[in-house]
């Protein structure tokens, strides 16, 4: 794997710890009162045959998870806003059906487990995790040419699971889940159709010490948005990003992608924002693709792809999830279509400066992962 790929994955690993690191407005309690839990889950899953190349991998197999997590009890405002989610880091292992072409999978992923109801005795939750995975086998032109799913050993893992939790005692909780585990490298190394593993699990979770009571009473009284000062505000957020995509299978080399965007965002609650995005991207692989199609062009400006998108930002203190759906408005190369989707993780370093990691896809097919840096300009009005 090229050195550029390792650097990109290292940046991603350092950044996604923002998943579980949120801003502290005041010093927290001692370590012993952080409500730590240890949870073990046994999964039973299979390969989703989402491409013709995956049909030969028809196998059911187990997977094992170990989660180290903290039950939030209102130490920060965002915890109460999201009904006291669990935050932590998980470890994953699966023999992947003991198939020689697929090998085994190992992963570490920070996660947040959001309650969907507010019952203490039993709860339905949705867990989202994002981290790094190591797959022991990958595509090799001679040695492993049947594995068209993954072109690199190092990949991203996305874990999405609905889970049910039932308290057996003050310390022990029974868990059951159903969901999807996805492995992909974001086209940093092709082929990259990805691996999808739907699975069901059962497990047990235990507090490591006596848990704290809920602390939401220490928060400010609930107010309507902006009621405290009678003002409303919006923000303008310019961002510069760069991505890397491997196209050695199609064009024999790798290329950079450069992206610039300006987002206009409006808060709708303390938990979220809606907005409109205007962007432009230059994909250095497009000239080579146009040449293969015998399409002539006069200027590199004809390669630039402007776009417009609708945005929703899910806010958790200094960390946000960003979801976009948009359309390209130009550009000569459009073999993947004009409709694009983006899902990103955004982390503020101070009040205005933020970094981002964003996966851009076209109709669900990953195109590239972009690493960005931006600045938020706030404007208040009555």
Between the CA of residue 289 and those of 193, 244, 255, 366, what are the distances in Å? 20, 16, 12, 17
CA gap 230, 84 in Å, rounded: 28
**Residue 120, number of CB atoms within 10 A of its CB:** 9
> Residue 128 has which token pair?
């989202």
CATH 2.40.160.20 residue ranges in the chain? 3-218, 232-381
Mean pLDDT (the chain) is 83
Residue 229 has a pLDDT of 54
Q: Phi and psi (nearest 5°) for 271?
A: -105, -15
Parallel/antiparallel/unpaired status of strands 253-267 and 232-247 = antiparallel
Residue with tokens 């050195």: 3
Give residue 33's pLDDT band: very low, low, confident or very high (50, 70, 90). Answer: low
Tell me if residue 107 falls in helix, strand or coil.
Answer: strand
pTM of the model: 0.80
Give residue 15's pLDDT band: very low, low, confident or very high (50, 70, 90). Answer: low
- Comparing 57 with 287, the larger pLDDT belongs to 287
- pLDDT above 90 covers a percentage of the chain that reads 45
Tell me if residue 46 falls in helix, strand or coil.
Answer: strand
Residue 102 has a pLDDT of 80
Residue 247 has a pLDDT of 77
Neighbouring residues of 325: CB distance < 8 A, sequence distance ≥ 6: 309, 310, 339, 340, 341
**Residue 221, number of CB atoms within 10 A of its CB:** 4
pLDDT tens-digit series, residues 169-195:
988 999 999 999 999 887 777 777 778
Tell me if residue 325 falls in helix, strand or coil.
Answer: strand
CA gap 369, 244 in Å, rounded: 7
DSSP 188-252: SSS----EEEEEEEEEEEEESSPPPPP-GGGSPPP--TTTTTT-EEEEEEEEEEEEEEEETTTTS
CA gap 239, 236 in Å, rounded: 10
Residue 145 has a pLDDT of 66
> Residue 347 has which token pair?
């982390």
CA gap 98, 229 in Å, rounded: 61
Residue 300 DSSP symbol: G
Residue with tokens 């933020």: 354
Between the CA of residue 382 and those of 11, 227, 232, 379, what are the distances in Å? 40, 11, 6, 10
CA gap 129, 67 in Å, rounded: 11
The answer as to CATH 2.40.160.20 being correct for domain 232-381 is: yes
Parallel/antiparallel/unpaired status of strands 154-167 and 232-247 = unpaired
Give residue 313's pLDDT band: very low, low, confident or very high (50, 70, 90). Answer: very high
Residue 50 has a pLDDT of 64
pLDDT tens-digit series, residues 198-249:
999 999 999 988 877 665 444 554 555 554 455 678 999 999 999 988 877 7
> Which of 42, 121, 37 shows the shortest CA–CA distance to 86?
37
For the cut 60, the answer to whether the pLDDT of residue 11 exceeds it is no
Asked if 336 and 367 touch (Cβ cutoff 8 Å), the reply is yes
CA gap 197, 61 in Å, rounded: 10
pLDDT tens-digit series, residues 43-75:
999 988 766 666 667 788 999 999 999 988 777
CA gap 232, 381 in Å, rounded: 5
My answer on whether omega of the bond before 191 falls inside 30° of 0, hence cis, is: yes
Give residue 114's pLDDT band: very low, low, confident or very high (50, 70, 90). Answer: very high
pLDDT tens-digit series, residues 329-378:
988 888 888 999 999 999 999 989 999 999 998 877 788 889 999 999 99
- Annotation: CATH topology of 3-218: Porin (2.40.160)
Question: How far apart are the two ends of the chain, measured CA to CA in Å?
Answer: 54
> Which of 3-17, 87-101, 230-244 shows the lowest per-residue confidence on average (mean pLDDT)?
3-17
Residue 218 has a pLDDT of 47
| Alpha carbon 350 to chain centroid, angstroms | 22
- Sign, CA dihedral 349-350-353-358, equals positive
Residue with tokens 């009678």: 230
pLDDT tens-digit series, residues 291-306:
888 888 888 888 999 9
């Amino acid at each position: 794997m090229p050195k550029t790929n390792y650097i990109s994955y290292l940046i991603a690993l350092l950044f996604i710890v923002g998943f579980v690191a949120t801003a502290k407005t005041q010093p927290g309690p001692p370590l012993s009162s952080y409500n730590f839990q240890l949870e073990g889950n046994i999964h039973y899953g299979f390969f989703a045959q989402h491409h013709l190349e995956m049909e030969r991998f028809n196998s059911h197999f187990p997977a094992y998870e170990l989660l180290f997590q903290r039950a939030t009890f209102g130490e920060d405002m965002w915890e109460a806003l999201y009904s006291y989610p669990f935050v932590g880091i998980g470890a994953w292992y699966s023999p992947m059906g003991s198939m020689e072409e697929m090998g085994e999978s190992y992963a570490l992923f920070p996660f947040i487990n959001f309650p969907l109801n507010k019952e203490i005795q039993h709860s339905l939750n949705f867990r989202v995790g994002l981290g790094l995975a190591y797959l022991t086998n990958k595509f090799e032109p001679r040695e492993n040419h049947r594995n068209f799913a993954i072109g690199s050993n190092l990949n991203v893992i996305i874990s999405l699971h609905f889970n049910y939790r039932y308290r057996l005692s003050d310390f022990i909780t029974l868990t059951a889940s159903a969901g999807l585990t996805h492995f992909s490298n974001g086209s940093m190394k092709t082929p990259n159709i990805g691996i999808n593993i739907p699975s069901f699990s059962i497990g047990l979770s235990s507090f490591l010490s006596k848990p704290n009571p809920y602390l939401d009473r220490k928060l400010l009284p609930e107010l309507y948005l902006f009621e405290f000062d009678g003002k409303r505000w919006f923000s303008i957020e310019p961002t510069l990003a760069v991505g890397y995509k491997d196209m050695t299978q199609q064009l024999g080399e790798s290329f950079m992608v450069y992206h610039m965007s300006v987002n206009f965002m409006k808060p709708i609650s303390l938990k979220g924002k809606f907005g409109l995005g205007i962007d432009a991207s230059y994909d250095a692989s497009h000239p080579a693709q146009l040449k293969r199609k015998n399409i002539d062009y006069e200027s590199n400006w004809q390669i630039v792809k402007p776009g417009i998108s609708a945005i929703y930002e899910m806010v958790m203190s200094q960390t946000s999830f960003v979801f976009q759906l948009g359309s390209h408005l130009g550009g000569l190369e459009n073999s993947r279509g004009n409709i694009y989707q983006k899902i990103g993780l955004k982390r503020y370093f101070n009040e205005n400066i933020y970094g981002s990691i964003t996966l851009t896809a076209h109709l669900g097919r990953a195109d590239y992962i972009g690493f960005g840096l931006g600045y938020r300009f706030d404007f208040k009005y009555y």
